[in-house]
Amino acid sequence: MKIVAARLHRVRLPLVHEFRTSSHGKSLLDHILVELTDASGATGWGEIASPSDPYYAPETVESCWHVGERYLVPAILGQEWDHPEQLPQLWAKVRGNQFAKSGLDTAGWVLWATINGVPLAEALGGTRSEVVAGVSLGIEPTIDDLLAEVDRHLAAGYPRVKLKIAPGWDVEPVRAVRAAHPDLDLHVDANGIYAANQWEDLEALDEFGLTMIEQPFAPRDLLAHAHLQQDIETPICLDESIETVEDLETALSLGALRVLNIKVSRMGGLTAAREAHDRAHAAGIPVWCGGMHEFGIGRAANIALSSLPGFTLPSDVSASAKYYAQDVITPPVVATQGVVQVPTAPGLGHEVDTAFIAANTIATSELKS
Ligand code: OSB
Ligand code: MG
């Protein structure tokens, strides 16, 4: 198989509800949709879901565009390959840039699954026909606003809620949500904002029966996570810290996590994400799939990944309607009582709405072999 053309589409969509984390807020997203075409004319779509600013990870939309055009697409154009597992080897010289790599990697998997007539989930070795979705709720102006957001999503049937926390927005919102919902599967995500001298705030969360505390400390500070885990009962989950399977090995050997959030984007694609799943599963660490507010193409890849056996916790693969008034795929992702069906059609399992994409595209680039 040979990729003969690659198109990058910078597509802008508004979020239906502004989202605020410990670092920043956002209401408009630019993601780069990657369209790969092989010699037979078949196409596969992937998504580079990098945030605009380098606050979650070092990449930006511009850096992904640059690295994609200048290094990643040229590394695969005109090269022979048989299986998408080989694609990362073609760009192995490029360090980091996981989001940019992930968009191409996913497009390669979708293309391969399409040509071979198998659903993406099956191509990956998925075993579930449906996956359970949770919701990730941002920091709200007031605790009452947060309680209303929680109620709205519980009414829609989602069985798990994750709350973004930051110093000054942690114990009180968690106490309020826990008081209103004593049995809810509830967890928190700090996006690495706490300093080592803010341990007490995190210890204070231990009494609320949270399913996990996600990424309390800076990504590279694995030792701080290992020390906190020795001190508290609540499992620590790592997100930003784990960009490679080697990072996971190190974190496991340090005892820095008891749960793993696997993001396709953060791991640099489906091949690496699946490898992280296999390693965590073998180590007895439960995993779930994290999200980056993906448009439907990236979310369909996340859902396919979530069908692997080790994804035993609810994933951030909520319905399209949680994020966008209209999505780039048809049908959109739908959750019924928080359950999403894994598509059974070949490839992505959804149609890509090229007219809607074109109407919302602000830049394109085409490279050919
Ligand atoms: O840490 O999981 C995170 C969104 C942007 C950046 C970081 C994170 C998130 C989310 C959104 O939590 C999850 C989703 O896509 O629903
Ligand atoms: Mg996170």
ipTM computed for the complex = 0.98
Average pLDDT over residues 4-26: 94
The residue contributing the CA closest to ligand 1 atom 1 is: 191
- Determine whether the shortest distance from the Cβ of 302 to ligand 1 is under 6 A: no
Cα separation, 320 vs 166, in Å, equals 27
Q: What is the mean pLDDT of the chain?
A: 97
pLDDT digits (tens, 9 = 90+) for 57-72: 999 999 999 999 999 9
Reported confidence tier of residue 175, pLDDT bands at 50, 70, 90? very high
Tell me, yes or no, if 164 is annotated catalytic: yes
Probe target for ligand 1 pocket from 30, 136, 241, with the most ligand atoms within 8 Å of CB? 136
pLDDT of amino acid 166: 96
Whether the per-residue pLDDT at 268 is higher than 90: the answer is: yes
Tell me, yes or no, if 322 is annotated catalytic: no
The residue contributing the CA closest to ligand 1 atom 13 is: 291
Average pLDDT over residues 162-166: 97
Task: Please answer whether residues 242 and 248 qualify as being in contact, where contact means their C-beta atoms are separated by less than 8 angstroms.
Answer: yes
The CATH code of domain 122-341 reads: 3.20.20.120
- Determine whether the shortest distance from the Cβ of 239 to ligand 1 is under 6 A: yes
Beta-strand pair 43-48/25-38: antiparallel
Whether the per-residue pLDDT at 271 is higher than 90: the answer is: yes
pLDDT of amino acid 24: 86
Whether the per-residue pLDDT at 51 is higher than 90: the answer is: yes
pTM, rounded to two decimals: 0.97
pLDDT of amino acid 22: 85
Task: Please answer whether residues 258 and 285 qualify as being in contact, where contact means their C-beta atoms are separated by less than 8 angstroms.
Answer: yes
Q: Where do the domains of the chain lie?
A: 3-117+354-368, 122-341
The CATH code of domain 3-117+354-368 reads: 3.30.390.10
Whether the per-residue pLDDT at 23 is higher than 90: the answer is: no
Whether the per-residue pLDDT at 243 is higher than 90: the answer is: yes
- Determine whether the shortest distance from the Cβ of 247 to ligand 1 is under 6 A: no
Average pLDDT over residues 212-230: 97
